[in-house]
A and B are shown apart, each in its own frame.
Chain A
Amino acid sequence: MDFAERSDAECVRRLQAGETDAFEILVRRHEKTIFNLVYRLLGDYDEATETAQDVFLSAYRSIRQFRGEAHFSTWLYRIAVNHAKTRRRSLANAQRRTVPLEAADPVSDGRSNPAENVVQREIQQRVQQALKSLEPDDALVVLLRDLQDVPYEEIARILEVPIGTVKSRLYRARQALKSRLASYFYSDGKRT
């Protein structure tokens, strides 16, 4: 059975039995998702790299505690959320300056027009800054729902809150983002 065929559950079983190499499959499968969640919450590439590594190392250390009651991805997300919130809190306390995103973000959608790339990059920076201005719990629901398309029920399991709380947080976060990004939108809904 090759890499694409082994499910998360099977990899976890093998890992719990002592087959360390099975963890590499899990890392490769989820590294981009976890990295982006952490990166968008922290707004710093190096911090995101270190934190994402810690997420996977924590998952490895506590793999025997995973009993398979939820999806492995849900459990991994939960670890990532905790690490990211903790790191964001310590960064805020340390008042460290973040690395500008221009160097980190790739050209968004492959447009060949340089002017559009600049505009797009500027919008992305604004969005990132708006996300950073949100409370961590609100930013997380927006990132999980709008960036990573995670269903409400799954978000509720990851954050360990009721679905109603997910919906109300999402509404509040989207309203806040809308307010912060209002100058980039059409006054009548179209971009100026």
Chain B
Amino acid sequence: MKCDEVQAKLSEYLDKSLDAESAHAIESHLSSCPRCRAEAESLTESIRQVAGLPLVDPPAGFTQRVMVQVREMAGEPSFWERFFLPLRMKLPIHAAALLLIGVFAVYFYQSERLEKKEPATFRQDLQLEDKNERAKVAEPPARPSVSRQPKAEVADESASADLKPAPEVRERVARSLALEAGSAVGELAAYYELVIKLRAASGEIQAMRDQLASLRKQAESEALSTQAERESLDRMAPLAKKRAKPETLWLTIPQSRYDQFKKELSNLGTIESESQTPSTKKDLPSKSDAPLRVKITILPPVDPETTPPADRPAK
């Protein structure tokens, strides 16, 4: 072995951690190489000096001081222990807290879901549901049209004159009306909506009143409407004109009278739109006496002073 190789292995040789063959080779080299032998001896001495350093005792009471601090730490609950223990107390509290959070979450979710509906549609829902709650299903009437009907309401739809109820609302109304009339769902066209724009001529107010009186007489003669509905008919058209806001009322007429009713209504103004819901699967015979629930939205006339000529409806 060369001196460099021997000196690189001296540390392990002195620790007796070399294999037998390597150790023997180094011993042979050291016996014949003074330089490496001197190196081995000085290395041995430095190892001995370190090994000869005296063991120093830690200060008196070292263990006791450590244990004092350990026992202090042992007395303090850990974060998790503080949070979860004692179980008999903490578990019910946590369970109750979770339950409360769940209830509030459901409550707020429901509130938010309802608020996300279109406001006008939501209002309509409330109004119609309110009507349905107040209506009572009477015993089957002698004439299909004779039943207590919900009062007509004046809906302030000035902000949404051309608003049509959502289909599901109409369907709900139709079903409730069918129950009120004592007839099965599906037999009734149930719901018509007419939007009529009054004519603008100022001198027609009296004529309008006359028309309304005529319609009213017909309603009276055929016992189509309640007193409230009849009065609302008298009130609505002039009111719409006076307030320049749409007004809404409900009437009940037999299916067979619907076309005639529309014709007479057209004397008051222009029927802007007509819709029916739910759509019937088959056409009802025109002479059917099944009661029709009709919603009439009366739009105020166009003001000739403020409306450009192009926008005025043609007479």
Chain A residues close to B by CB (< 8 Å):
20, 23-24, 27-28, 31-32, 35-36, 39-40, 45, 49, 52-53, 56-57, 60-61, 104-109, 123-124, 127-128, 131, 142-143, 145-147, 149, 152, 167, 170-171, 174-175, 177-178, 181-182, 184-185, 188-189, 191
B73 CB–A CB distance under 8 Å: yes
The B interface is mostly helix, strand or loop, or mixed, namely: helix
* Contact string against A for B residues 4-22, beta-carbon threshold 8 Å, 1 for contact and 0 otherwise: 0000101110010100000
The A interface is mostly helix, strand or loop, or mixed, namely: helix
B142 CB–A CB distance under 8 Å: no
B92 CB–A CB distance under 8 Å: no
B54 CB–A CB distance under 8 Å: yes
Assuming the A-B contacts A57-B66, A188-B38, are A170 and B54 also in contact, with contact meaning beta carbons closer than 8 angstroms in the complex?
no
B71 CB–A CB distance under 8 Å: yes
Assuming the A-B contacts A53-B66, A142-B50, A189-B42, are A32 and B55 also in contact, with contact meaning beta carbons closer than 8 angstroms in the complex?
yes
Are B46 and A181 neighbours in the complex by a CB distance under 8 Å? yes
Offer 21 A-B interface pairs, CB within 8 angstroms, sorted by A: A20-B71, A23-B67, A31-B63, A35-B62, A40-B53, A45-B56, A53-B62, A53-B66, A104-B56, A106-B57, A109-B54, A124-B53, A124-B54, A127-B53, A131-B50, A147-B51, A174-B46, A177-B49, A177-B50, A181-B49, A191-B45
Contact partner of B11 (CB less than 8 A), chosen from A24, A149, A170, is A170
Q: Which residues of A contact B8 (CB under 8 A)?
A: 171
Distance in Å from the Cβ of A154 to the closest Cβ of chain B? 13
Interface size class of B (residues with CB under 8 A): 35 or more
Are B38 and A31 neighbours in the complex by a CB distance under 8 Å? no
Assuming the A-B contacts A174-B11, A174-B43, are A105 and B54 also in contact, with contact meaning beta carbons closer than 8 angstroms in the complex?
yes
Give bound CA distance, A124 to B57, whole Å.
16
**Most A CB atoms within 10 A — which of B50, B54, B70, B73?**
B50
Distance in Å from the Cβ of B70 to the closest Cβ of chain A? 5
B69 CB–A CB distance under 8 Å: yes
Are B43 and A178 neighbours in the complex by a CB distance under 8 Å? yes
Q: Which residues of B contact A31 (CB under 8 A)?
A: 58, 62-63, 66
B52 CB–A CB distance under 8 Å: yes
B41 CB–A CB distance under 8 Å: yes
Q: Which residues of B contact A60 (CB under 8 A)?
A: 70, 73
Are B42 and A57 neighbours in the complex by a CB distance under 8 Å? no
Are A39 and B66 neighbours in the complex by a CB distance under 8 Å? no
Distance in Å from the Cβ of A148 to the closest Cβ of chain B? 9
